[in-house]
Amino acid sequence: MPSLSERRIDAWTAVAAEPAVHAAERAIATGSSTVLADTLAISAAAECRRRLAGVLELKDHAERDPGRRAAYHRAADEFRNWAAGVYLATCLDQHDRT
């Protein structure tokens, strides 16, 4: 049986993913992926803007304060890794089938 923490994470994930699930259900019902693609694109774009703003803020501080360069480089690496992960998540099934 999952722990309370695992159940909470599962419940949060289900709630957080609800817009995508509804859009996927609509795609199945209508035969069109437009709403689902738009939902995913809007979500990814918003998260991209949020993460990039954090990186750019650190970059600005790193240029003025060499002591903060390490934090900027870590954040930039995390941003690149996030971008790669999102991209690969969209390609995962395609690569698994080949």
List b or e across 32-45, with b for residues whose CB sees 16 or more CB atoms inside 10 angstroms.
eeebbeebbeebee
pLDDT, average across residues 59-85: 93
Give pTM, 2 decimals: 0.74
What integer pLDDT is reported at residue 8 of this predicted model? Answer: 64
pLDDT, average across residues 72-91: 94
**Mind listing the pLDDT tens digit for each residue in 7-64?**
666 666 667 788 889 999 999 999 999 999 999 999 999 999 999 999 999 999 998 8
Task: Please answer whether residues 2 and 21 qualify as being in contact, where contact means their C-beta atoms are separated by less than 8 angstroms.
Answer: no
96: pLDDT strictly greater than 60: no
